[in-house]
Structure 1
Amino acid sequence: MRILADLHRCEGLGMCEAMADRYFEVGDDGQVLLLDDHPREQDRQLVDSAVKSCPVSALRLEN
Structure 2
Amino acid sequence: MRVVVDRTKCSSIGLCEATAPDIFEIGPDGVMNILIEDISADRRTDLEQACENCPTQALSIVEN
TM-score, normalised relative to structure 1:
0.90
Q: Report the CA distance between 1:37 and its aligned residue.
A: 2.5
Q: What's the RMSD between the two structures over aligned residues? A: 1.0
Which secondary structure state, in structure 2, belongs to the residue aligned with residue 4 of structure 1?
strand
4+ residue segments displaced more than 3 Å: none
TM-score, normalised relative to structure 2:
0.89
State how far apart, in whole Å, the 2-side matches of 1:31 and 1:58 are. Answer: 13
Q: Which residue of 2 aligns with 1:2?
A: 2
Gaps of 5+ in 2: none
Query: % of aligned pairs identical?
Result: 33
Q: Report the CA distance between 1:42 and its aligned residue.
A: 0.7
Q: Report the CA distance between 1:28 and its aligned residue.
A: 2.1
1:1-63 mapped onto 2 (5 Å cutoff): 1-63=1-63
Which secondary structure state, in structure 2, belongs to the residue aligned with residue 52 of structure 1?
helix
Q: Report the CA distance between 1:6 and its aligned residue.
A: 1.0
Alpha carbons 1:25, 1:34 under 8 Å: kept: yes
Aligned residues: 63
Q: Report the CA distance between 1:7 and its aligned residue.
A: 1.2
